[in-house]
Amino acid sequence: MTEQQEASEDAVMTRIGQAVILLHAGDREEARNRLGEIWQEIGEAGDSLHRCTLAHYMADAQDDPADELAWDLRALTAADALRDGPGTGDDGPGNGRPALREPRPAMRVFYPSLHLSLATDYLKLQRPEAARVHLARARAASGALADDGYGNGVRAAIARLERRLAAEPGARPRPFPEQS
C-alpha cells in the first residue's frame, strides 16, 4: 500500500471519528449527515473495516429502530467480510453450506458489541427471541474482550440486557440458547 493510500484510509477513519464525536455530543442529525456523506463516498463495496465502523455508528444515530437494525446488520455484514480464509468443521464444500471462517484477531473484539447492538435493536422492535439469539452470540464472543474499560463495559451491557430480557413482563423465564 502506498503512503498516499494509507493517508487516505486514515482520513476516512478520522472523518468517521469526527462524526462520532458529534453523535456523542448529542448532535445526531449532523452526525447522521456526515456519516451518510462518507457512506456515499465509500459505498457498499468500500473497505470492510470502514463500512463496519461507519455502519455501527450510523445505527446509533438513527431515530427509527428499524433503520437502526438495518445499519447494525450492515455493520455485521461488513465485519463478516473481514474474516480470514477457509474455516474448519462440518461446514464447507460438499454439504451445501459455506465454510465457517474465523474473524481476524483484531476484529474479534467488535463482535460482542455488534451482536449486543443487534439484540438491543430486536428488543426495541419487540422481537425478544431474535434478541436472545444475538445476545447469546454477544456473550459467546465476549471472551475476545480485554479486561479493560471497553471490555468491561460491553460485558456489563450484555449482563444488563440479559437481566432485562429475563424480567420481561408476560414472558415466562427461559434459558438463553447457550444455557440450554
Exposure string over 133-167, b if 16+ CB within 10 A, otherwise e: bbbbbbbebbebbeeeeebeebbebbeebbeebee
Share in percent of the chain as helix, strand, coil (round to 5): 65, 0, 30
**Between these two residues, 9 and 165, which has the higher pLDDT value?**
165
Check pLDDT > 60 for residue 89.
no
Q: Residues 144, 107: contact at Cβ < 8 Å?
A: no
Closest among 27, 25, 83, 34 to 54, alpha carbons compared: 34
Q: What's the pTM?
A: 0.79
Q: Residues 35, 55: contact at Cβ < 8 Å?
A: no
- Average pLDDT of 25-33? 97
Q: How confident is the model at residue 93 (pLDDT cuts 50, 70, 90)?
A: very low
Closest among 98, 88, 109 to 152, alpha carbons compared: 109
Q: Residues 102, 84: contact at Cβ < 8 Å?
A: yes
pLDDT on residue 95: 42
Average pLDDT, the chain: 84
Q: What string of DSSP letters covers 21-84?
A: HHHHTT-HHHHHHHHHHHHHHH-TTS-HHHHHHHHHHHHHT-SSHHHHHHHHHHHHHHHHTTB-
Q: How confident is the model at residue 168 (pLDDT cuts 50, 70, 90)?
A: confident
Q: Residues 23, 38: contact at Cβ < 8 Å?
A: no
Q: How confident is the model at residue 85 (pLDDT cuts 50, 70, 90)?
A: very low
- From CA 164, how far away is CA 114, in angstroms rounded? 18
CA 178 to chain centroid: 20
Largest CA-CA distance found in the chain, in angstroms, rounded = 58
